[in-house]
Structure 1
């Protein structure tokens, strides 16, 4: 495979430079056609493609067979399986905690071990490329898209956890992807929606944003670009994904990254709105990218391939530039052995969601729960007290989220531990009715700073029942800034089942909280803080 490609047609070589998404639980007619006609370098799965582990195993086998029957090289089969709130495959596997929860454990080994567990399961169902870990430094509390996808707000801290996760995934035979180069952590605009700008100078970028990427560059198979403008690196105003000074000058030549540079999706508004995937694909390759990601629209995918072919034919893009990337891609595929056939489902099933995997992940999840304060002395909760739990509406606060039903509530976990418990949804008209009837209240917030209805309930509750309220954040620890007067505050970093179970155990005294804040909430509650 590593030599035969030199005799391919231009379209066949260009095909290797693209990773496409498709719609449906089975291969779409359009994606089958593109595989057969010129081959594609890879495909990416979203929730729209996934039922459970068994179905993904069958889908991966079907796609591999399609490529093989057409005489095409094996494909990277990719997914965004970061853990926590950004996970596409959640049924039939052990879902690992998200990055901020892992950061709260204080142990990079948590990142390595959970990544290895996730990687082993992904590889078993045919996924050989994970668009993880996210190594953006989340030093802007108003960031709408990174937030709990980051390990924390300190560059050295994030670097250690990111490198550990890269090694964990790749030990399991899955290519890791660190993202989003050169840094998306200090933006207040989501690049899914518009084009963010980072105004910092080079000195600041070297001190924070670039630190984790320099650390991981020698280990990771892939680095994903950010659709972010950094005038200090490229004063033309071109986003990093399309910038030759950023991708070739900084990442390839200065940092010395020898792996695969892949773009974030070119259908995100930061690119689609200003350039479009056709022009964007050509510009990204001219800038030094190896692979172009286009996730949604078949017409745009095909047009982008044809635009790259035309650019070569017209001399705007050299064929040697194409060859350089094709060689790099095929070497990476060979190194990860992605042409190995999938084991039968009956054999694979035994490797997924095992008792050992669940136990290790449970321990790390429990280690992440952070007691920030208990000035009111309300913990552990009394099992014999009349208790109200106020549960928020769990919604996607970022377009990176793909919300799943069935994770349940904290009240459901506490009900087996507290005899007289009522749970109300925060969006119910009578959510705060008759609070005097309850001896203890558990207020659960998800992302109060961004969700006005949740913030309003928090503010009202603090006015009338603050002295008996325990607040629990199940995503964003910055929620404490919305209701700082609360006397007891517990931080978890996601609303997934394991995190909710861990929170319930800490609230009732079954488990002692050992997590430490991976981000500074305020001067009073800095990075590394926990209540003694």
Structure 2
């Protein structure tokens, strides 16, 4: 078909693109000038505060108020804190404290830091109600398993971020908390009736809408109880009748990454993108590895779908208009955003409040720290965790029971601290910890994930997350060598 510049620019206005490097390539800068709505940055784009600020400034010069976004939830999912872990506790820790004022202040501080770096859209908070203990993709990213608790913290998080001038994006609609599969790899299915889903999954999204959230991100999951087949991202009934009609949302609907297998595995990214926009998505988050040529294929697919009558031009115009409204809100809010102190300490304070100790914790003598390794999820990536920065003698081991005798012998004459992460999900970890406690029943176990599984003996410390500040708060408690935390980048 002949090139249609008007439709091409409308299609561009629905795209949130990634790119390859620490500097914006020419195809991105030219694309922004030609109407691409914005970018989403990942670990491969971020290399320290000065570089990030310069990168974002160059993006902002390419067009008027492009969307400059990232997944920065605080806690385990951090982009700006990849080098050492986040300066902010994640949702599970904030939910454990259950002080909405703390949640609001924490997200306001995080939003202020993002705004200083030049970001204006944060793909957070996760407002999923995590009712599946073996959920491989949510876990500590959720405020908890109680819908009412998640709802009040969802509202607080939205208010905090947006007070800092950063648009919030509640996710993963209509709720990813009851799944036991990861939509990065498959299409999860939630079998629950509509009444339960409304009382549980939808309650936090209703609270986020009432708090004025500017955007909501869809989930690539099936919920037949809400009507329709296939991923929610591609289901008009869920996005239009439910989200816009029943919940009254008028802002921007953002897709989860279109490169995820749960949405495009069978039909490809361009076709999935067409169906998503036709179903009610306004802004296509393409993912991490969809670069120049593939972006062009997506744009061309949208234009071709209009010519073919599969995608009404009015739907494309509506999506572009909503994204323009979001950029207008960002532009107007920048001048009135709340000032946030450079190092307000709210993150560490929250992590300290979240600590939960079960059993007696005596003074520790020269602790020998054993960290039981656990895989990072796709959303988390490779971010440091554990107590290594604060103790001189730390060994990380694979989750195998055969290590137990050697480790117990290595700790002879010293106190033993065993650090785990989501032990409930890994039988090997449970077997190793149980064997260690049979040899050293007075050992201290530190759980840096969700404290679902607890061994029968020993003292148990729950941090509700593996962020830098979660580790620091646990190290303080256990007598590690801690100094004044640096206030720089998260």
Normalization by structure 2: what TM-score? 0.89
Do residues 402 (structure 1) and 366 (structure 2) align? no
In 2 relative to 1, CA 129–431 (structure 1 residues): closer, same or farther, beyond 3 Å? farther
Alpha-carbon distance in 2 for matches of 1:48, 1:338: 30
CA contact (8 A) 1:389 1:424 kept: yes
2:25 equivalent to 1:35: no
Can you give the 5+ residue segments of structure 1 that lack an aligned partner in the other structure? 1-6, 342-350, 416-421, 512-532
**Aligned partner of 2:330 among 333, 336, 341:** 336
Partner of 2:367: 387
Alignment correspondent of 2:176: 184
Q: 1:13 to 1:458 in 2, by over 3 A?
A: same
**1:314 maps onto 2:308 in alignment:** yes
Change in 2 beyond 3 A, CA 1:27/1:434: same
Give the equivalent residue in structure 2 for 1:60: 56
Residues 58, 352 of structure 1: alpha-carbon distance in 2 compared, 3 angstrom cutoff = farther
Q: Quick one: which of 147, 152, 166 aligns to 1:155? A: 147
Aligned length: 468
How far the C-alpha of 1:215 sits from its partner, in A, is: 1.2
CA contact (8 A) 1:135 1:162 kept: yes
- Once superposed, what is the RMSD of the aligned Cα atoms? 2.6
**1:487 and 2:481 equivalent?**
no
CA distance in 2, matches of 1:439, 1:59: 49
SS at match of 1:449: helix
Q: Where do 1:97-496 residues align within 5 Å?
A: 97-218=89-210, 219-235=212-228, 237-295=229-287, 296-298=289-291, 299-337=293-331, 354-355=342-343, 357=344, 359-371=345-357, 373-374=358-359, 377=360, 379-382=361-364, 385=365, 387-393=367-373, 395-396=375-376, 398-405=377-384, 409-410=386-387, 412-414=389-391, 422-427=393-398, 431-434=406-409, 437-465=412-440, 467-480=441-454, 484-496=455-467
CA distance in 1, matches of 2:278, 2:209: 21
| 2:85/2:468 contact within 8 Å kept | no
Matches of 2:367 and 2:248, distance apart in 1: 58
- The one-character-per-residue Cα deviations of 1:75-99 (angstroms, maximum 9, x if unpaired) are 1000100001100002699721111
> TM-score scaled to structure 1, two decimals?
0.83
Contact 2:171 2:218 in 1 (8 A): yes
- For residues 94 and 233 of structure 1, what CA distance do their matches in structure 2 show? 36
Q: Secondary structure at the match of 1:425?
A: strand
SS, match of residue 191 in structure 2: coil
Q: CA deviation at 1:479?
A: 3.6
Q: Distance in 2 between matches of 1:93 and 1:473?
A: 16
Query: In 1, Cα distance between the equivalents of 2:101 and 2:56?
Result: 30
How far off is 1:155 after superposition?
A: 0.3
Partner SS for 1:77? strand
**TM-superposed deviation, 1:508:** 4.5
Cα gap change, 1:387 to 1:120, in 2 (>3 Å): closer
Task: Report the CA distance shift for 1:436/1:168 in structure 2 as closer, same or farther (over 3 A).
Answer: closer
CA contact (8 A) 2:165 2:333 kept: no
Instruction: Name the SS of the counterpart of 2:319 in structure 1.
Output: helix
Q: Deviations over 1:39-85 (max 9, x none)?
A: 211100001100011111100111122x23xxxx4310001000011
Contact in 2 for aligned 1:94/1:118 (Cα 8 Å): no
* Change in 2 beyond 3 A, CA 1:369/1:314: same
Q: Determine which structure has greater relative contact order: mean sequence separation of CA pairs < 8 Å that are 6+ residues apart, divided by chain length.
A: 2
Query: How far off its partner does 1:340 sit?
Result: 6.8
Residues 119 and 93 from structure 1, CA distance in 2 versus in 1: closer, same or farther, beyond 3 angstroms? Answer: farther
CA distance in 2, matches of 1:93, 1:76: 25
Q: Aligned with 1:55: secondary structure?
A: helix
Q: 1:185–1:324: structure 2 CA closer, same or farther, 3 Å change rule? A: same
Within 2, Cα distance between the matches of 1:53 and 1:509?
28
Q: Is the 8 A contact 1:243 1:287 kept in 2?
A: yes
Q: Report the alpha carbon displacement of residue 216 of structure 1 after superposing the two structures with TM.
A: 1.0
